[in-house]
């Protein structure tokens, strides 16, 4: 099956310019010392205002793509450019500081408050550094806490928060630096239905609060995608099986090919679903 062609522009208006490119991979491959190929010839770009879903079965290469896209790993071959800076020509540490990541495994000490943890997003540290915060930082943190649906909880110790609330705290923390690229690594992992829906509502609101923000969400499940997802990339065995707009990529045929079983894809009120459609004949 041919790959979907990635659109070269965002159709916002007849004369609307192309969004600024914030992430670009060109012919990227990653292999191990034993010769095992993890990613093979990946070419992909993300532009300002686009919200990407990266989907695929276990072992597809999603985690490796995540580490490359967030400047945590060099590719074995190919070029990577993040926020206008190319790997090999810029400090990887400095690049990492410009990318905000929501990781469900990120450490948070029980005795710190919600506000203290959100503020650590400024310094990228585990422990608060209050001497480095300005009055504007405190106001911004409180605004973000309210934005993710946790208004009035800034003084609560994180140990009293549910898993879903903690994940929304991580989202607010990631937004403290007003990033241009937000990367979410399976953000709904381990959440029950109410917590997942609260998280998705918070992510959906980002389209209105920061329309130029670009995002990349790694997930196994279509049901975890916010309705604001604009594009999708499907991976299988380290290769792209489809890449383009969500409407073009998230189809029965393409999702079935990616996951290796017959899948029926649906969409209701902007939310995606996927269910098994029998077995291969």
Q: What is the pLDDT of residues 8-61, one digit of tens each?
A: 323 223 333 457 889 999 999 999 888 888 899 999 999 999 999 999 999 899
Task: Pick the closest to residue 237 from 76, 65, 53, 45 (CA basis).
Answer: 65
Whose CA is closest to 243, among 75, 44, 80? 44
- Res. 112: pLDDT tops 60: yes
Compute the mean pLDDT over every residue in the chain, rounded to the nearest whole number: 86
Residue length of the chain: 281
Read off the pLDDT of each residue in 207-220 and give the average, rounded to a whole number. Answer: 87
pLDDT of res. 278: 64
pLDDT band at 279 (very low <50, low <70, confident <90, very high): low
When mean pLDDT is compared across 10-24, 128-142, 193-207, the lowest value belongs to 10-24
Percentage of residues in the chain having pLDDT higher than 90: 51
Mean pLDDT of 207-233: 90
pLDDT of residue 4: 37
| Among the ranges given (66-80, 91-105, 134-148, 155-169), the one the predictor scored with the smallest mean pLDDT | 91-105
Write the pLDDT tens digit of every residue in 236-263.
999 999 999 999 999 999 999 999 999 9
For the chain, give every residue range classified as CATH 3.40.50.300.
18-99+184-203+214-281
Question: b vs e for 192-219, b when ≥16 Cβ sit within 10 Å of the residue's Cβ?
Answer: eeebbebbbebbbebbeebeebbbbbbb
Strand 37-47 vs strand 21-31: parallel, antiparallel, or unpaired? antiparallel
Give pLDDT, residue 280. 52
pLDDT of residue 50: 94
Quote the CA–CA distance of 23 and 100 in Å, as a whole number. 13
Show the tokens assigned to 135.
């009055």
Contacts of the segment 242-248: beta carbons below 8 A, 24+ positions apart? 242/1, 242/3, 242/4, 243/3, 243/4, 243/6, 243/44, 244/4, 244/5, 244/6, 244/7, 245/4, 245/7, 246/53, 246/272, 248/4
Residue 6 pLDDT exceeds 50 = no
- CATH classification of 18-99+184-203+214-281 is 3.40.50.300, yes or no? yes
Can you give the pLDDT at residue 258? 94
Provide mean pLDDT across the span 231-236: 96
Q: At residue 83, does pLDDT exceed 80? A: yes
* Average pLDDT for 84-106: 79
Note the pLDDT of residue 116.
95
Q: Which pLDDT score is estimated for 33? A: 85
pTM, full prediction: 0.84
């Amino acid at each position: 099956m041919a790959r979907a062609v990635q659109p070269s522009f965002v159709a916002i208006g007849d004369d609307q310019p192309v969004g600024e490119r914030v992430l670009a991979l060109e012919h990227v491959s990653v292999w191990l010392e034993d010769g095992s190929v993890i990613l093979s010839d990946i070419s992909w770009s993300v532009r300002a205002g686009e919200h990407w879903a990266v989907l695929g079965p276990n072992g597809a290469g999603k985690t490796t793509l995540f580490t490359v896209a967030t400047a945590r790993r060099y590719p074995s071959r190919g070029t990577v450019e993040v926020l206008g800076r190319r790997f090999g020509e810029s400090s990887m540490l400095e690049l990492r500081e410009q990318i905000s990541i929501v990781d469900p495994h990120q450490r948070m000490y029980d005795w710190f408050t919600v506000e203290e943890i959100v503020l650590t997003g400024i310094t990228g540290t585990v422990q608060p550094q209050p001497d480095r915060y300005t009055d504007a930082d405190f106001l911004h943190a409180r605004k973000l806490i309210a934005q993710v649906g946790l208004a009035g909880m800034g003084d609560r110790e994180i140990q009293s928060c549910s898993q879903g609330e903690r994940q929304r705290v991580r989202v607010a923390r990631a937004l403290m630096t007003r990033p241009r690229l937000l990367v979410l690594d399976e953000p709904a992992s381990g959440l029950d239905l109410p917590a997942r829906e609260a998280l998705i509502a918070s992510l959906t609101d980002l389209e209105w609060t920061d329309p130029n923000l670009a995002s990349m969400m790694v997930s196994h499940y279509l049901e975890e995608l916010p309705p604001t997802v604009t594009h999708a990339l499907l991976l299988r065995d380290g290769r792209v099986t489809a890449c383009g707009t969500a409407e073009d990529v998230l189809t029965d045929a393409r999702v079935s090919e990616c996951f290796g079983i017959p899948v029926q894809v649906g969409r209701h009120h902007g939310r995606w679903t996927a269910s098994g459609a029998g077995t291969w004949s």
